[in-house]
């Protein structure tokens, strides 16, 4: 199982899933290029969709597998959609959390212009330097509110980030030039081949936190026209955008049910003696694997 995080997260956002599935599956969390401890090239063209998808492919290869259960949230979910479109042979099953199919997102924006306002941050991030300055003001107040604020942050009181956990997310971003690589995802994607209208042919599950105040409305259940294979959609009430951290028990149960569901297709059988890889970093020479035992 390969987990892809979003912004401003890193691999640590999958801690509950790594612990849950590591006993029976080979579980891997990837620090995406430019995030966490992975290399952070400075050029915008280092964050093209093609290169980001190569990182995923190379990670699967380096780990000694030919395919995986691919799980993505936010930007990681968007990359997972694209990887499933480009390399369906390398995706056994696709699990997406709070990330719309690219074509569904575009359709929602075009049909209801009001939705464009809710995606205004993506347009703002196209500007040079100004987004980095804005996000770093008042000790990264905007990012703190994004993860922990009353409107945007984790809703589950029992799962809200501690100050130490929040600082863990902000540490790399607060280093000189640390915000530019993650923001380059927005800058490169909107000028790249983002809006693919191909139908995904892999067995897919979409999990959506109902109280997501970040992504556009109407995209959580609008993926069926873009899926050729079996698909199931689950919405989790009273759950924020940060679904895998907000409601980990519910998310983990949905994943178990999805992996073992014989009605959809053949179940993905557990690997006996599974191994948890807490972090995989992307380096210039390809994925660098750091094993962390649970």
Q: CA 131 → CA 40, 123, 124, 136, distances in Å? A: 18, 10, 7, 9
Please identify every residue annotated as catalytic: 74, 186, 241
Q: What is the pLDDT of residue 272?
A: 47
Cα–Cα distance for residue pair 31/19, rounded to 1 Å: 17
Q: What is the pLDDT of residue 195?
A: 53
Do residues 223 and 235 lie in contact, with contact meaning Cβ atoms separated by under 8 Å?
no
Q: In tens digits, what is the pLDDT along the chain, a chain of 294 residues?
A: 999 999 999 999 999 999 999 999 999 999 999 999 999 998 999 999 999 999 999 999 999 999 999 999 999 999 999 999 899 999 999 999 999 887 666 666 666 655 655 666 777 888 899 999 999 999 999 999 999 999 999 999 999 999 999 999 999 999 999 999 999 998 998 665 555 556 677 899 999 999 988 776 555 555 656 667 788 889 999 999 999 999 999 999 999 999 997 445 555 655 545 555 666 777 766 665 554 433
Q: What is the pLDDT of residue 293?
A: 38
Q: What is the pLDDT of residue 291?
A: 44
Q: What is the pLDDT of residue 108?
A: 62
Cα–Cα distance for residue pair 95/73, rounded to 1 Å: 9
Domain 2-290: which CATH class?
alpha beta
Edge-to-edge strands of the sheet including 276-283?
231-236, 203-209, 91-97, 68-73, 2-4, 27-31, 276-283, 286-290
Structure token digits, residue 92: 């056994």
Do residues 245 and 159 lie in contact, with contact meaning Cβ atoms separated by under 8 Å?
yes
Closest listed residue to residue 81, CA positions, set 51, 49, 109, 108: 49
pLDDT digits (tens, 9 = 90+) for 18-67: 999 999 999 999 999 999 999 999 899 999 999 999 999 999 999 999 99
Q: What is the pLDDT of residue 292?
A: 43
Q: What is the pLDDT of residue 270?
A: 58
Q: What is the pLDDT of residue 52?
A: 96
Cα–Cα distance for residue pair 97/92, rounded to 1 Å: 17
Q: What is the pLDDT of residue 68?
A: 97
Tally of CB atoms within 10 A around 130: 11
- Residues forming beta bridges with residue 205, ordered by sequence position: 95, 232
Taking the domains of the chain in order of start, what are their residue ranges? 2-290
Tally of CB atoms within 10 A around 272: 7
Question: Which residues contact residue 244 at a Cβ distance below 8 angstroms, ignoring those fewer than 6 apart?
Answer: 13, 14, 16, 17, 73, 97, 251
């Amino acid at each position: 199982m390969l987990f892809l995080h979003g912004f401003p997260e890193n691999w640590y956002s999958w801690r509950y899933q790594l612990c849950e599935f590591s006993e029976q599956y080979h579980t891997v969390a990837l620090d995406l290029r430019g995030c966490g401890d992975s290399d952070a090239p400075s050029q915008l063209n280092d964050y093209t969709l093609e290169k980001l998808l190569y990182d995923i492919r190379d990670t699967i290869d380096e780990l000694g597998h030919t395919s995986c259960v691919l799980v993505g949230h936010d930007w990681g979910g968007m990359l997972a959609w694209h990887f499933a479109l480009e390399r369906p042979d390398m995706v056994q099953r696709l699990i997406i959390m709070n990330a719309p199919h690219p074509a569904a997102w575009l359709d929602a924006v075009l049909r209801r212009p009001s939705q464009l306002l809710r995606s205004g941050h993506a347009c703002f991030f196209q500007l040079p330097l100004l987004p980095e300055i804005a996000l770093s003001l008042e000790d990264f107040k905007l990012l703190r509110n994004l993860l922990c604020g009353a409107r945007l942050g984790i809703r589950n009181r029992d799962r809200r980030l501690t100050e130490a956990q929040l600082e863990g997310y902000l540490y790399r971003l607060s280093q000189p030039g640390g915000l530019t690589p993650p923001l380059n995802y927005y800058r490169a994607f909107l000028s790249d081949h983002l809006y693919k209208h191909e139908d995904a042919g892999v067995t897919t599950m979409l999990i959506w936190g109902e109280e997501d105040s970040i992504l556009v409305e109407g995209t959580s259940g609008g993926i069926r026209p873009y899926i050729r294979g079996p698909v199931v959609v689950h919405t989790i009430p009273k759950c924020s955008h940060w679904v895998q951290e907000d409601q980990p028990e519910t998310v983990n149960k949905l994943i178990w049910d999805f992996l073992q569901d014989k009605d959809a297709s053949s179940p993905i059988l557990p690997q006996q003696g599974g191994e948890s890889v807490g972090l995989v970093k992307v380096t210039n020479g390809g994925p660098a694997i750091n094993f962390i035992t649970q």
